[in-house]
């Protein structure tokens, strides 16, 4: 029961009901996470007699870090848009939904670490798998929030929007997670750079949303 005898409400019925606070902490954590990513791009150091050619070579060695940084920035951008789309459909919240969103944000805070690990060890399968598991955590917690919100009737309830909203959001998450899983699994057979390139292309597809029939459906 949610209420105690006598008709008085329990604290848990009042907790986590403010939609503005969910959106506020989400934007703040995403902003910090995106900013922390750039700390992995350290300015090259040269000897006292370093030349412009040496600087050029040092910048080229930053290539893997730049690629992984860009990939992670797109990851956070995609999930920020996805979470924002979900929150925009809410009419109310509750304690359980708020904690599901906090679990999702926990995954967001891990992205800078996953990025730094993969940038430092781009040829290690373990680093790639850890990065992929971070994406899985983000996707599954976002999906859990959607499923719970639908069951608890937290979203806009209209005859035209609700039936269409759920399959669109659910399908996008599941298809994206499937594509990420396929990309990560290629490291079993091929070098990790193939998986990284495929993950990058999957993200680029969601960022650009090209109107190519077979891709636009994703």
> pLDDT for 134-189, tens place per residue?
999 999 999 999 999 999 888 876 544 556 778 888 899 999 999 999 999 999 99
- Angle 19-37/95-120 helices, nearest 10 degrees? 0
3-state secondary structure of 193: helix
Q: Where are the alpha helices (DSSP H) in 89-124?
A: 95-120
Give the Cα separation of 125 and 189 in Å (integer): 11
**Would you kindly state where each structural domain of the chain is located, as residue ranges?**
11-216
Give the Cα separation of 198 and 163 in Å (integer): 33
Q: Is the pTM higher than 0.85?
A: no
Give the Cα separation of 166 and 86 in Å (integer): 10
pLDDT greater than 70 at residue 64:
yes
Q: What's the N-to-C CA distance of the chain in angstroms?
A: 42
| 66: confidence class by pLDDT, cuts 50, 70, 90 | confident
Give the Cα separation of 139 and 142 in Å (integer): 5
Structure tokens at 82: 């996805």
Cα 13 versus chain centre, distance? 29
> pLDDT for 92-103, tens place per residue?
888 899 999 999
């Amino acid at each position: 029961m949610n209420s105690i005898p006598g008709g008085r409400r329990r604290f848990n019925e009042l907790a986590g009901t403010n939609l503005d606070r969910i959106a506020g902490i989400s934007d703040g954590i995403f902003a910090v996470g995106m900013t922390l990513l750039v700390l992995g791009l350290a300015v090259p150091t040269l000897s006292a007699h370093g030349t412009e050619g040496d600087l050029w070579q040092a910048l080229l060695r930053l290539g893997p870090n730049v690629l992984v940084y860009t990939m992670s920035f797109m990851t956070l951008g995609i999930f920020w848009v996805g979470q924002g789309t979900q929150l925009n459909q809410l009419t109310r919240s509750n304690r359980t939904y708020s904690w599901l969103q906090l679990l999702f944000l926990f995954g967001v805070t891990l992205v800078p670490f996953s990025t730094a690990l993969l940038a430092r060890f781009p040829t290690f399968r373990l680093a790639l798998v850890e990065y992929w598991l971070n994406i899985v955590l983000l996707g599954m917690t976002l999906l859990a929030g959607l499923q719970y919100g639908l069951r608890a009737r937290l979203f806009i309830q209209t005859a035209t929007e609700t039936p269409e909203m759920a399959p669109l959001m659910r399908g996008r998450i599941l298809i994206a997670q499937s594509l990420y899983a396929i990309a990560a699994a290629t490291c079993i057979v091929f070098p990790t750079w193939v998986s990284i390139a495929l993950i990058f292309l999957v993200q680029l597809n969601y960022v650009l949303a090209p109107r190519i029939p077979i891709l636009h459906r994703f």
